[in-house]
Amino acid sequence: MQVTHELMNEHQLILKYLDLMERYVEFSQTNDNKDLFLQKAQDFISFVQIFTDTYHHAKEEDVLFKYLQAPGVLSHCNPLPVMLSDHEQGRVYTQNMKDALANNDLKTLCDNACAYSQTLKQHIFKEDNILYPMAESGISDDDKIALENEYRQIEEKMDKQAIWNEYEEQYSELESCLD
Ligand SMILES: [Fe+2]
Ligand SMILES: [Fe+2]
């Protein structure tokens, strides 16, 4: 039984958004339409705050991480403090992006978007390759069933299908603006 497969799917959409955001930063530095990223930044911030930090991080912080802390699951080392501090650092960069957008400050917006992207990409690599394999091998089958039920509650509360549809559609729109 796998309890990290869906989280890894979510990582794939997050990574697509990070790559696209980096393309917007590059575009704003090399093209005449320098304000395009300022115009579209709210869409990226919305994805970061709703899909990544509310939906995905709730499943990690409120569910998966809780089961990883059960006795005997993390026998060699505990990466959870680092994972939580990465999430926190991401929130700081996101707030900086919001402030920069409110001030029409493209340079600060770009700097924090790049810092956010780098932090999250490294974080996702650590989860996909270290933390999630630990979860798959360490969490008991009984706990995995209970864990899945807790995921389902979050997915129902936030309407999984609606949130995926909304942000996949938004991705296509954002991508088409760069063509
Ligand atoms: Fe995470
Ligand atoms: Fe994650």
For ligand 1, an ion, list residues with CB under 5 A.
60
Indicate which ligand has the atom closest to the C-alpha of 4. 2
Distance from CA of residue 36 to its chain's centroid?
A: 23
Neighbours of 94 (CB within 10 A): 19
What is the chain's mean pLDDT, rounded?
96
Q: How far is the CA of 110 from the centre of ligand 1 (A)?
A: 23
Predicted local distance difference test score (pLDDT) of residue 57 = 96
- Both tokens assigned to 119: 């932090």
CB 119 within 8 A of CB 171: no
For position 103, which CATH number holds? 1.20.120.520
Q: How far is the CA of 34 from the centre of ligand 2 (A)?
A: 31
Rounded to whole angstroms, the Cα distance separating 78 from 81 reads: 7
Predicted local distance difference test score (pLDDT) of residue 169 = 98
> Crossing angle for the helix pair 106-126 and 36-46, nearest 10 degrees?
40
Predicted local distance difference test score (pLDDT) of residue 13 = 98
Q: How far is the CA of 66 from the centre of ligand 2 (A)?
A: 14
- Both tokens assigned to 54: 């509310």
Q: How far is the CA of 7 from the centre of ligand 2 (A)?
A: 6
Rounded to whole angstroms, the Cα distance separating 179 from 177 reads: 6
Distance from CA of residue 46 to its chain's centroid?
A: 11
Give per-residue pLDDT as tens, 88-122: 999 999 999 999 999 999 999 999 999 999 999 99
Half-sphere exposure (Cβ direction) of 21: Cα atoms closer than 13 Å:
28
Predicted local distance difference test score (pLDDT) of residue 2 = 93
Range of the domain at 47: 5-176
Give per-residue pLDDT as tens, 24-37: 999 998 877 889 99
Predicted local distance difference test score (pLDDT) of residue 76 = 77
Tally of structural domains, the chain: 1
Q: How far is the CA of 109 from the centre of ligand 2 (A)?
A: 23
Secondary structure class of 71 (helix, strand, coil): coil
CB 4 within 8 A of CB 135: yes
In the predicted structure, residue 77 carries a pLDDT above the cut 90: no
Q: How far is the CA of 60 from the centre of ligand 2 (A)?
A: 7
Q: How far is the CA of 117 from the centre of ligand 1 (A)?
A: 13
Predicted local distance difference test score (pLDDT) of residue 151 = 97
CB 28 within 8 A of CB 91: no
Rounded to whole angstroms, the Cα distance separating 38 from 137 reads: 44
